[in-house]
Amino acid sequence: MGQITLNQITKSFGEVQVIPPLDLQIEDGEFVVFVGPSGCGKSTLLRLIAGLEDVTTGEILIDGNEATRVPPAKRGLAMVFQSYALYPHMSVRKNIAFPLRMAGIDKETQKAKVEAAAKVLNLTDYLERKPGQLSGGQRQRVAIGRAIVREPAAFLFDEPLSNLDAALRVNMRLEISELHNSLETTMIYVTHDQVEAMTMADKIVVLRAGVIEQVGTPLELYHTPRNTFVAGFIGSPKMNFLTGAFAEEYGTDTIGIRPEHLDVSQSEGKWSGVVSVSEHLGSDTFLHVDVNGLPDPVTVRATGEFGVRHGDTVHLTPDTSKIHRFDKQGLRIA
Amino acid sequence: MATQHSRSAARIMMAPAVILLLGWMLVPLTMTLYFSFKKYLPLRGGDLGWVGFDNYVRFVSSSAFWPSIQTTLIIVGGVLLITVVLGVLLSMLLDQPMWGQGVVRILVIAPFFVMPTVSALVWKNMFMDPVNGLLAYLWKFFGAQPVEWLSDASIFSIVLIVSWQWLPFATLILLTAIQSLDSEQLEAAEMDGAPPLSRFGHIVLPHLSRAITIVVLIQTIFLLAIFAEIFVTTQGSFGTKTLTYLIFQRVLESQNVGLGSAGGVYAIILANIVAIFLMRIVGKNLDA
């Protein structure tokens, strides 16, 4: 079981309130991702749940039980740290067995559990090595192994992939998703990378300056962002925001249109502009187009190869049904 | 650019320092070896010729030799124990964020800046004096008979004085080591259910092991040679005669340079045994 409820949680460091009153409900078995730009309080929120920081006011319930003042070890949560936080002087086996040893579990059971975890994580051949002799991905797996053996109510991940290279990150992303599917345990995952959030999450929590901007499934956030912040944060490349005359046509202050919802043509279209940069990825082509009357270039995604170069003129037509309208405060207009 | 030319230029520029250091080391070493094979009594006839290994045999067979080795080991061991244990505790305390941290850290280092002679005098006259000492006042305040530290607990007193001088050194090295400990490791251990004492034993102490061996190595080499503290306080009486002090007595009080030099050679051998032994431990620790 791993149902976590945050009730009017606040956190202040001295005079500075980093988390204003915040409510959040995390269901058992859910994969929840906290995402936001750096300094938005997502790691602090995770550490509050873990118990590594004390909440200033409010309460935390784990499986319906008050856990606000319960010490971290007693909350039944396991955490994977950004630096992995492996114990450098212990072998992989001892690292994974450490929580079991601290819980006073007998040697035989320890051995069985460590070996089971090592098998799941492909670490069997490395059990006698020290963390210093492992690669980044292996260290990451050891850290996960140390969390698994505790059979926690929920896993907490604090930006676990940010120290890995791009290829390995994609692999580990899949492995963590698979792990979630097989364990069916609640996982809370903190990242600043919206791609990780979109690909892994059952539920995404978008944070800005300690405030929850929106909670929803990845596709809800993609299709109906509540405000310009969420709209700009979710989706890659970023959504284009158009103001002034472009927005007035749709009866509002700002409109947003994603790069993939713009039709681009070399002969005709609604808006025209000059290509400043074109990025050819093979599968897609991203064009950055300077449209007359707009301060920022508009990003457009063309499927496949699209043979234009710097300085060429192109014409853009938005898919009208996919235009997002926002008011003066940046809130979505239905 | 390590060309032939720049390399020879570098050698020429380093030469004065190397020659000076070699001379500084080699001249006294050669003289000690030279005198150790001679019967040389400056006030009783001067150079009385070669005597072979006579001095070496006499130095070891003297009734004062083995007690002096024992005293040396007790003092070195005692100081190491006190400075390492208190150093670990003090460095953890100083690592905590607190008001006036900078000032406190400088104050902690202060004893290291006091000359050994001065600190021994201060301890002898201001703390341990059985009539006027601060400790005597303290004892009298509680109605107890003041302790005559330097005669009744002589070795302990010297260990105390020397520990006071070397504690800052140990604390400083251990503090820098403790500051390099990744706080996420401690947090991970906390989440893994390790209570504070286990966190200390399983995480902090292993992390400090390398720094501790370095403290032990460096301190041992310096502690084998302590002299001023003994000279100023007990003059080698009450069982505080270390090997160094014995050599001093042989040369200056008995005016027997040859015998003292033989003792000096023994001291060199002893220090080297300790150094080799400790270097191997440190080497093993540095590999990990």
State the CB neighbour count (10 A cutoff) for residue A107.
10
Cβ atoms of residues A253 and A243 within 8 Å: yes
Long-range CB contacts for residues A168-172, cutoff 8 Å, separation at least 24? A168/A136, A168/A137, A169/A196, A171/A137, A172/A137, A172/A140
φ and ψ of B118, to 5 deg: -65, -45
Q: What tens digit of pLDDT does each residue of A69-113 get? A: 888 888 889 999 988 889 988 999 999 999 999 888 889 999 999
Q: What burial letters (b/e) apply to A275-297, b meaning 16+ CB within 10 Å?
A: beebeeeeebbbbbbebeebeeb
Question: From B210, which residue of chain A is nearest by alpha-carbon distance?
Answer: A89
Beta-carbon separation of B207 and A102 below 8 A = no
We report the CATH number of the domain holding residue B117 as 1.10.3720.10
Q: How far is CA B275 from the centre of its chain?
A: 13
Q: Is residue B257 part of a domain?
A: no
- The first and second tokens of residue B112, run together, are 């290291």
Residue from A44, A101, A144 to probe the interface with B (highest B Cβ count within 10 Å): A101
pLDDT at position B191 is 87
- The interface predicted TM-score (ipTM) is 0.80
Q: Is residue B250 part of a domain?
A: no
Domains of chain A: 4-231 (3.40.50.300), 238-333 (2.40.50.140)
B150 vs A157, more confident: A157
Say if B192 is an interface residue toward chain A (CB within 8 Å): yes
Residue B30, pLDDT > 80, answer yes
Q: What tens digit of pLDDT does each residue of A214-243 get? A: 999 999 999 999 999 999 988 888 999 988
Q: How many CB pairs under 8 A join A and B?
A: 58
Report if pTM > 0.90: no
Task: List the Cα angle A59/A203/A260 in 5-degree steps.
Answer: 145
φ and ψ of A149, to 5 deg: -60, -20
Q: Is residue B28 part of a domain?
A: no
Closest by CA to A3, choosing from A23, A26, A24, is A26
> Which of B72-86, B92-106, B206-220, B246-260 has maximum average pLDDT?
B72-86
Q: Is residue B186 part of a domain?
A: yes
% of chain B exceeding 90 in pLDDT: 20
Residue B288, pLDDT > 60, answer no
pLDDT at position A155 is 92
Contacts of A51 in chain B (CB under 8 A): 191
Residue B93, pLDDT > 70, answer yes
Of A50, A72, A87, the CB nearest to B203: A87
By three-state DSSP, how is residue B151 classified?
helix
Cα distances (Å, whole numbers) of residue A313 to A160, A295, A333, B58: 44, 17, 33, 104
- The first and second tokens of residue B203, run together, are 């995480």
- The amino acid present at B248, given as its one-letter code, is F
Q: What tens digit of pLDDT does each residue of B38-69 get? A: 888 888 877 888 888 888 888 888 888 889 98
pLDDT at position B171 is 92
Q: What tens digit of pLDDT does each residue of B172-205 get? A: 999 999 988 888 898 899 888 888 888 898 989 9
Cα distances (Å, whole numbers) of residue B141 to A298, B144, B147: 86, 7, 13
- pLDDT bucket at B285, cuts 50 / 70 / 90: low
Cis, peptide link before residue B146, omega less than 30° from 0: no
Closest by CA to A144, choosing from A111, A189, A109, A106, is A189
Cβ atoms of residues B228 and B116 within 8 Å: yes
Cβ atoms of residues A127 and A118 within 8 Å: yes
Cα A18 to Cα B262: distance, rounded to the nearest angstrom: 72
CA distance B269 to chain A (A): 35
Beta-carbon separation of A50 and B191 below 8 A = yes
Cβ atoms of residues A137 and A129 within 8 Å: no
CA distance B90 to chain A (A): 23
Cβ atoms of residues A23 and A8 within 8 Å: yes
For range A265-274, the mean pLDDT? 86
Q: What tens digit of pLDDT does each residue of B155-173 get? A: 898 999 999 999 999 999 9
Residue B287, pLDDT > 70, answer no
Say if A103 is an interface residue toward chain B (CB within 8 Å): yes
Beta-carbon separation of A85 and B198 below 8 A = no
Contacts of A44 in chain B (CB under 8 A): none
- The first and second tokens of residue A89, run together, are 């002087």
Q: Is residue B169 part of a domain?
A: yes
A205 vs B43, more confident: A205
pLDDT at position B286 is 59
Per the structure, the count of domains in chain B is 1
Strand A154-158 and strand A77-80: pairing? parallel
pLDDT at position A167 is 85
Beta-carbon separation of B192 and A81 below 8 A = no
Q: Which of residues 164-183 of B touch A (CB under 8 A)?
A: 182
Cα B230 to Cα B247: distance, rounded to the nearest angstrom: 13
Cα B174 to Cα A283: distance, rounded to the nearest angstrom: 57
Residue B214, pLDDT > 80, answer yes
Closest by CA to B165, choosing from B82, B278, B241, is B82
Q: Is residue B30 part of a domain?
A: no
Domain span holding position B71: 65-240
